[in-house]
Amino acid sequence: MAKKAKSLPAKKPIGMVRALVAACIAVVVLAAAVVGVTNAVVIGTASGSILSAEEAADYNADAIVVLGASVLPDGTPSQILKDRVENAVELYQAGAAPKIIMSGDNSTLEYNEVRSMKDYAVSLGVPSGDVFCDHAGFSTYESMHRAKSVFGAERIIVSTQRYHLYRALWSAHALGLEAIGVPADRHSFANQLLFDAREVPARTKDFFLALLKTDPTFIGDPVSLDQSGDVTD
């Protein structure tokens, strides 16, 4: 009688598990490297364009761009947003730029960062006509893109906190804007570590958005900075 062929032993899954673990580790290492390198490039490139208010006073910008942040339920700006607006107002009053662009989120009727920002600037003595509202500044990158593509600015000063300035300036420069930033670091915040942590992947995201010159959510009709900012209310 012919002998039965011996069945091959089932392949142990241990090899597949090891390969899967190795692949996952490789992906994590690659992702960490991309995040690390892009953050280093963004911070290193933008650092030299962060100036003091005194240094920026004679920059002769087309406009100061204030980046949006949270608004309180009563419609008034949060402290972090107040700091950004106050910083911009002081630069405006020092003659650094003749116009201010408030760029933030006004995606719904109920939530309007830019109206709150403009009202606060006017309460601090800035003429309403010198304050423009960018209602579609849904992200830092989009605010920089729209400052150029919608408002026609070529030379700007960015007002926000230092941790946020790096990617704002990276985006501005990549889009062809002449830009400096003045830190609005007037208070310390309990959740600063969270802000810093969120900024790490955000810098990587904006690194590639700016590199690819991605279009913003909305572009819209051009707005001349030579007219009254009240047309954008």
Name the more confident of 77 and 27: 77
Q: Which of these, 215, 214, 216, 208, lies nearest to 39 by C-alpha position? A: 208
Average model confidence (pLDDT) across the chain: 93
Q: Dmax over Cα atoms in the chain, in whole Å?
A: 106
Structure token digits, residue 116: 């709150």
Structure token digits, residue 170: 């990276």
Q: Alpha-carbon distance 103 to 143, whole Å?
A: 6
**What local confidence, expressed as pLDDT, does residue 25 receive?**
87
pLDDT, average across residues 50-68:
97
Domain boundaries, the chain: 44-232
What is the per-residue pLDDT across 185-230, written as a single tens digit (0 to 9) for each?
A: 999 999 999 999 999 999 999 999 999 999 999 988 999 999 999 9
> Which of 5-14, 18-27, 147-156 shows the lowest per-residue confidence on average (mean pLDDT)?
5-14
**What local confidence, expressed as pLDDT, does residue 108 receive?**
85
Running DSSP on this structure, what letter comes out for residue 229? G
**Domain at 44-232, CATH homologous superfamily:** HUPs (3.40.50.620)
What is the per-residue pLDDT across 65-123, written as a single tens digit (0 to 9) for each?
A: 999 999 999 999 999 999 999 999 999 999 999 999 999 999 888 899 999 999 999 99
**What local confidence, expressed as pLDDT, does residue 1 receive?**
46
**What local confidence, expressed as pLDDT, does residue 12 receive?**
55
Interior angle at CA 31, CA 211 and CA 70, nearest 5: 65
Q: Are 132 and 39 in contact (CB under 8 A)?
A: no
Running DSSP on this structure, what letter comes out for residue 59? -
**What local confidence, expressed as pLDDT, does residue 6 receive?**
53
Say which residue the tokens 């006509």 belong to: 129
Q: Are 51 and 180 in contact (CB under 8 A)?
A: yes
**What local confidence, expressed as pLDDT, does residue 4 receive?**
53
